[in-house]
Amino acid sequence: MQSWLVADAHVDVLMKLLDEKIRFVEHGPELEASLPSLAAGHVATQVFALFVMPQADAGTQLHDVLHEIDAFYQQVACVPTVRMVKSRSDLRAVRSQGQMAAILSLEGGGCLRGRVEVLRMLNELGVRGMGLTWNDANELADGCGELRGGGLTRAGRAVVRELQRLSMWIDLAHLHDTGVRDILRITDGPVMASHANARAVHEHRRNLTDDVIREIIRRDGWMGLTFEASFLSDGQATVEDVFRHLDHVLTLGGEHHVGFGSDFDGTSHPVPGLARSGDYANLADQLANRYGEALAKRLLFDNFEDFLMRQLPA
């Protein structure tokens, strides 16, 4: 049986590590993407999201984000088989050493208080991508759950410009459709969606329309299909529902621009057989049987690796 390399663009491990009783290096029920589970799934690249509940005030959010960054340095980046990646040169070094690449992203910009200075400081700490919102509204934009459906604010536009200047990726996940359109109108470079599926397959506010998926592809961006069951289908989702979304993205031309962002440790409705990072091993074999080894390799790893080599600073 071949050991496929895997890249995963979104897990919520760091949020759980705020509980000091939970340890990243230990196997147990508390973490779906623990170090042993990631190793069992042959995950070679993992993006760790920085997420705090948006109902908290901005000062509390920033405090918790810094706490999560500290947990990343103290429990994840210090592991000998793991290396923090901030640049393309870091990524090349990881591959030469056979380590797992660990990357930080920010899920929701409420902690910025609308200030690009805070973004610059988070970038200095190693954050390499950002989604402007979670489901709610903040100083930057409306999330997909905000009923008024506003787009980017003036502060949000300034943050997008700074993300581009810093070579940080712009993540469309959780953003309201109006904000997505604003980003696509004011930028011309690659964008990505770390954990979202196809709305044409399952009507859900967190999924992307065909027009947006085509634009991601046209810009040489990337999208990660996610394993949250409620984004996949009505009722009990299965691995076959993941394939339905994947098939659709492939028909839109996404052969080189789609992969996976599991949302492990952040899902509310897990998919049987796709509930932990270790389950990637079985998924990889199913992908190879269904799509052939060459395409499976691109979907599991190469497409995101190529995106990182385009997006990360030198």
**What digits encode the pLDDT tens for the residues 256-295?**
999 999 999 999 999 999 999 999 999 999 999 999 999 9
What is the average pLDDT score of the chain?
97
Q: Are 167 and 140 in contact (CB under 8 A)?
A: no
Q: What's the pLDDT at 3? A: 79
pLDDT band at residue 1, thresholds of 50, 70 and 90? low
Does residue 157 register a pLDDT over 80? yes
Banded pLDDT at 57 (limits 50, 70, 90): confident
Q: How far is CA 18 from CA 22, 128, 186, in A?
A: 8, 21, 36
Domain ranges of the chain: 6-311
Task: Indicate the pLDDT class of residue 245, thresholds 50, 70 and 90.
Answer: very high
Could you tell me which residues are beta bridge partners of residue 198? 208
Q: What angle separates helix 280-291 from helix 239-251, to the nearest 10 degrees?
A: 50
Find out whether 22 and 7 touch, Cβ atoms under 8 Å: no
pLDDT computed for residue 56 by the predictor: 87
Question: Which three-class secondary structure state does DSSP give residue 283?
Answer: helix
Percent of the chain residues topping a pLDDT of 90: 96
Q: What percent of the chain has pLDDT over 70?
A: 99
Whether 27 and 36 have beta carbons less than 8 Å apart is answered as yes
User: What residue type is assigned to position 151 of the chain?
Assistant: G
Q: How far apart are CA 249 and CA 190, in angstroms?
A: 17
- 59 pLDDT band, cuts 50/70/90, is confident
CB of 81 closer than 8 Å to CB of 100: yes
Which pair of tokens denotes residue 168?
Answer: 């940080």
- Does residue 297 register a pLDDT over 70? yes
What CATH superfamily is the domain 6-311? Metal-dependent hydrolases (3.20.20.140)
